[in-house]
Amino acid sequence: MATAHGTTDMIVHDADDPDVNRNRQYVLVAAILAALTALEVATYLMPKDLQHTAVFAVALCVLMTIKFVTVTLFFMHLKFDKRFLTVAFYSALALAVAVYLAVLATFRFFWPADQMIPR
Amino acid sequence: MASATHAAVTAPDPDVVHGGHGYATNTGISNTKLGMWLFLGSECLLFGGLISTYLLYRHPAPGTGPAPSELYDIPFTSITSFVLLMSSLTMVLAVSALEGGDHFKFRLWTVATALLGSVFISGQVYEFTAFVHEGMGFTTNRSSSAFFTLTGFHGVHVTIGIVMLVSLLLFSLRGHLPRERAEVVEVVGLYWHFVDIVWILIFTVVYLIPG
């Protein structure tokens, strides 16, 4: 049977079983995601004046992006599937990001708060 | 007529594995899976619009009530976010179990995923209720409207995912979900993981990055 992971016609219960190895990989990925989430939440405990800096927002966005890409690669199988699916999904995502960054810029979202529309 | 009937019978089903090396489609990808990925691509635009709207309206007009950011309970939301993240693990383990032909584990992980999703939704209902008791309803101000619309839409997506999971479970219990149809579960799994990654965005952009 062809699946996202290739042909799996036999069920073998030993350490070399690809299903077992794959499941271990999933658990490892989940542990990494949990650690990244813990790191994100830990930033909430930082001093408030530090939380309002651009560096803080960028760091959180980087962590968010890592988590996002990790889930799509491993849990959604883009790493193992046809490249066409990666191109299709990330093209749509890039379009969405570009469109809404333009919208935010139109409303002066990236300007100082008193110049933003709506006030 | 006879030959036409014969052709209809022997014509390859584009969604059936072709020689064990892919699908008999132009892309080599099953139509079902491709359709789901394209749908998820369109969902990026939907949630992008909702997140952008929230960012633009996150500060309420003066004197119109509290902003959502004043009422967030970050430790509580962190726990529900973690629960949803872990439901992605149980979902992928359910897909893996059915691909391996283990129906018992498939049902176990599917139930676990649906339960974790239900815990997340319960948390969201609790959060919404707490906000309303604090004086921030859907129409209190532009900020609350944008917040409830964004997180409410996400909650509806999670609820639809739970319904799909329960449907899969019922199909499996009635014997309508053999190992050969594992792709159906994988496609539902794609939807579930997407709901998870949308929450990864919402949790960071809406809850963690201060306004």
Number of domains in chain A: 1
Q: Is the pTM of this model over 0.90?
A: no
How many residues are recorded in chain B?
A: 211
Q: Under an 8 A CB cutoff, do B204 and A61 touch?
A: yes
Residue A51 pLDDT: 80
CA distance B181 to B208: 40
pLDDT in tens, A57-66: 999 999 999 9
Q: Work out the minimum CA distance from B129 to partner chain A, whole angstroms.
A: 23
Give the closest of A29, A85, A99 to B29, CB-based.
A85
pLDDT in tens, B64-106: 999 999 999 999 999 999 999 999 999 999 999 999 999 999 9
Residue B6 pLDDT: 46
For chain B positions 114-173, those within 8 Å of chain A (CB to CB) are 142
- Tell me, yes or no, if B33 comes closer than 8 A to chain A by beta carbon: yes
Provide, as residue numbers in chain A, all residues whose Cβ is less than 8 Å from the Cβ of B80: none
Q: Under an 8 A CB cutoff, do B205 and A64 touch?
A: yes
Residue A92 pLDDT: 96
Q: Under an 8 A CB cutoff, do A99 and B200 touch?
A: no
| Distances in whole angstroms, Cα of residue B145 to Cα of each of A4, A68, B64 | 41, 26, 12
Residue A6 pLDDT: 46
Chain A residue closest to B27 (CA)? Answer: A84
Other Cβ atoms within 10 Å of A76 Cβ, number: 28
Burial track A19-47 (b if 16+ CB lie within 10 A, e otherwise): beebbeebeebbeebeebbeebbebbeee
Provide, as residue numbers in chain B, all residues whose Cβ is less than 8 Å from the Cβ of A75: 88-89, 91-92, 189, 193, 196
- Tell me, yes or no, if B63 comes closer than 8 A to chain A by beta carbon: no
In this structure, the dihedral spanned by the alpha carbons of residues B17, B20, B26 and B30, taken in order and rounded to 10 degrees, is 40
**Percent of residues, chain B, with pLDDT higher than 70:** 89
Containing structural domain, residue A69: 4-115
- Tell me, yes or no, if B186 comes closer than 8 A to chain A by beta carbon: yes
3-state DSSP assignment of residue B14: coil
Q: Under an 8 A CB cutoff, do B27 and A84 touch?
A: yes
Provide, as residue numbers in chain A, all residues whose Cβ is less than 8 Å from the Cβ of B85: 30, 33-34, 37
pLDDT in tens, B108-135: 999 999 999 999 999 999 999 999 999 9
Q: Which residues contact A85 (CB under 8 A, 6 or more apart)?
A: A78, B29, B33, B34, B37
